[in-house]
Amino acid sequence: MAKFFGNLHLVLLAGLALAIVVIATAGSADGRVPDPNQIFRWLHVFFGITWIGLLYYFNFVQIPTMPKVPADLKPGVTKYIAPKALFFFRWAALATVVTGLIVAHLSGYLVQALTFEPPFTLIAIGMWLALIMAFNVWVFIWPAQKIALGLVDATPEAKAAAATRAMVFSRTNTLLSIAMLYAMVAFNGG
C-alpha cells in the first residue's frame, strides 16, 4: 500500500484510469458519450487548478514564510522547492490557456468572446483576465524568478529587484484570479 502511494506516477495513472471509467460509464449528464467539449473542460479545470493552486501556494505559503526561514535553510526552498513549483506553475498556465481557448472554440464563441460581444461579456472578462495572468507568468514572473533564484547569473542587487518584481506580478495575479474564477464558473453554471 505505502509502496503504491509512494509512487506519484502510479497514483496519477490510477486516478486517470478511474476518470476514464467514470467518463465511459456516466460521462455526461444526459447519459450520452461525452463530446470533446466536455473532455477539454475537464482538462482545462485540471490544468487551471494546478496553475492557480501553485499561485496560491506561492502567495499564501511561500512568500509570507520566507522572511521567517533561517538563512541556512533558505536554499532548501530557493534551490529545490521553488524551481520545481515554478516548472509546474508556468506549464500549467500555458496548458490552461490552450485548453481554455479550445473550449471556447468548441463552444462556438471564441472570436465573439475575445471581442466582447454582449452575450459573452462575462466569459470575455474571465478569459481576458486569465490571458493577462498567463502573460504575467511568462513575461514577468518566470524571467524574474530565474534571476531571483540564481538560476541565471546576477548581482545581489539585481536578484533583490527581481524578487520584488516577481512578487508584485504574483500578487497582481492573485488579485485578478478572484474575479476571473467567478467569470469562469458563472458564465454557464447558473
Give the residue closest to ligand HEM by C-beta: 100
Residue 169 within binding range of ligand HEM, rule CB under 6 A: no
Among 40, 51, 140, 142, binds ligand HEM (CB under 6 A): 51
The one-letter amino acid code at 128 reads W
Among 131, 151, 168, 176, binds ligand HEM (CB under 6 A): 131
Rounded alpha-carbon distances, angstroms, from residue 5 to 11, 12, 75, 88? 6, 10, 28, 21
Whether the Cβ atoms of residue 145 and residue 162 lie closer than 8 Å to each other: yes
- Shortest Cβ 10–ligand HEM spacing (Å): 26
Within 8 A by CB and 6+ apart from 154, the residues are 147, 162
Whether the Cβ atoms of residue 15 and residue 67 lie closer than 8 Å to each other: no
Among 130, 141, 166, 167, binds ligand HEM (CB under 6 A): 130
Residue 125 within binding range of ligand HEM, rule CB under 6 A: no
∠ CA 70-71-73, rounded to 5°: 70
Whether the Cβ atoms of residue 141 and residue 167 lie closer than 8 Å to each other: no
- Shortest Cβ 3–ligand HEM spacing (Å): 32
Segment interacting with ligand HEM, rule: CB under 6 A, options 17-25, 27-35, 125-133, 165-173: 125-133
Which residues here bind ligand HEM, judged by CB under 6 A? 41, 44-45, 48-49, 51-52, 96-97, 100-101, 103-104, 107, 123, 127, 130-131, 134, 184-185, 187-189
